[in-house]
Structure 1
Amino acid sequence: MKEKQLVEIEDLQKLCEQGTFSLKLNWDTLRSRVGKAGEDFFYYEGNKLVGYMAIYDFGGKIELCGMVHPHYRRQGIFTKLVKKALQTAKKREPRAILLNAPAKSESAKMFLATLPCRFDMAEYQMQWQETELTDYEGVTLRPSNEEDRDLEIQLDVDCFGFLQHEATSYYKLLKEEGLNTLVIVYEEQAVGKIRVEESDGEAWIYGFAITPAFQGKGIGRKVLKQVILEQQKKGNPIYLEVEATNPAALKLYESCGFKSYHQQDYYVYLGSDPISQHLL
């Protein structure tokens, strides 16, 4: 991807959303792809970007998310992009391919109805609202290093359902993309991780996990409050994402002042052939 294409993607995203829903394009990942190829698919009319599709590799699962300019829809552009993305995704032999669509996008629902897929889960995008924060001492955060490799991999296995080889592959991918993780330390022991990405005046929280043996001790709440306070000092609005099927995490975030503002729906692709007859 070229630097210029990042600007084109951002402009197209604004046109497609128009304040009614939010596309999940994982901008921290997109920025790391400049100079690389194979993960992004573009459709141009002349010199104008009118269609875009990205694939995101999360260990054993691959997510697809894309968009088409409102004036160029119903011309088969999105179908062509999906075909190309599925071809690439299937070659990696993932456990699942997920199609990501904003819950409020009627055009996305209509398209998904033509594919062999089923609804899998909903994910809430949340933003922190001004809330008084207390009782956040007793844990510390430090940058991860090579000695934390096994811990980070095991946390993805224990907390996010990765298989061991998937977690190892995902760990390597994050390092290659330059996405840095913070290690959570409690009573001089590394017990978890969290990633905070700052970009365009916003802060996003990802990969927040506490090792099972230390869950239920209030560590996660203290960590979250520390991150919020640090970003609040910088003047950054703070965002995160949580699956609707994770009520414990949802309750934790809400107790610290996060409110849901968008919902993303995920559909599992069921086709065995990346060039399914449903896309012809």
Structure 2
Amino acid sequence: MPWRRDALTGADTLVLRRLSHLDGDTLSSLVEYGRSALGDSALDEWLLPVVAACGWLYVGIVGDEIVGAAEVIRCRGEKELYLEGFYIRPAFQGQGLGGRLLALVMAELAREGHERITATRDPANVAAARLYQAAGFSGSRLLRGYYGPGRDRLLVSARLGGRP
């Protein structure tokens, strides 16, 4: 996998890579990583290839390690997207990688001409609340039972590329 080293610090840099096809090893790894970060709400071996082929599947890479992923699908209009899944693997959390990965994904989607991205988060997930707020997401409409009884979510959204 590609990686870059920061010229000033010598530290590994987070690199964004879009995947449009998943070989068996990559698919297995992404399923495992997603489950370790998101539990049973992670996309599985049936849906990840569909997102890769028909949506936007990004991975964040540091060194030769996939540290996180963003799974994006089209929502409603041509320029509006839905962040179906986003995670940083537990071993890499707490290092600012979530904010950096989300910023890279949002910038890339804005470059492609998309205007808005929507996501849901668990109301109890304080780290996700901070991450999305720092990335410019706003709103917090409660969706009761969104993923079934007792599985509420908050709906948040952000404009891409600084568009009004």
Band of TM-score, shorter chain: 0.5 to 0.7
Post-superposition CA distance 1:201-243 (Å, at most 9, x none): 2011121111111111111111111121122231421111111
Match of 1:219 in 2: 97
Q: Percent identity?
A: 24
State the TM-score, normalizing by the size of structure 2: 0.66
Bigger helix share: 1
Aligned to 2:22: 145
Map 1:1-280 → 2, pairs under 5 A: 138-143=14-19, 145-146=22-23, 147-162=25-40, 171-175=44-48, 178-180=50-52, 181-199=57-75, 200=77, 201-233=79-111, 234-266=113-145, 268=149
Question: Which runs of 5 or more structure 1 residues have no equivalent in the other structure?
Answer: 1-136, 270-280
Q: Indicate conservation of the 8 Å contact 2:70/2:105, yes or no.
A: no
Task: Give, in whole Å, the separation in 2 of the partners of 1:209 and 1:264.
Answer: 21
Cα distance, 1:188 vs structure 2: 2.7
What displacement does 1:262 show?
2.1
Larger radius of gyration: 1
| Superimposed CA distance per residue, residues 30-89 of structure 1 (whole angstroms, 9 cap, x where no aligned partner) | xxxxxxxxxxxxxxxxxxxxxxxxxxxxxxxxxxxxxxxxxxxxxxxxxxxxxxxxxxxx
TM-aligned CA distance change 1:218 to 1:205, over 3 Å: same
* Cα root mean square deviation, aligned: 2.4
Which structure 2 residue ranges, 5 or more long, are not aligned? Answer: 1-12, 151-164
Which structure's relative contact order is higher, taking Cα pairs within 8 Å and 6+ residues apart? 1
Aligned pair in 2 of structure 1 residues 238, 193: CA closer, same or farther (>3 Å)?
same
* TM-score (ref. length: structure 1): 0.41
SS of the aligned residue for 1:221 comes to: helix
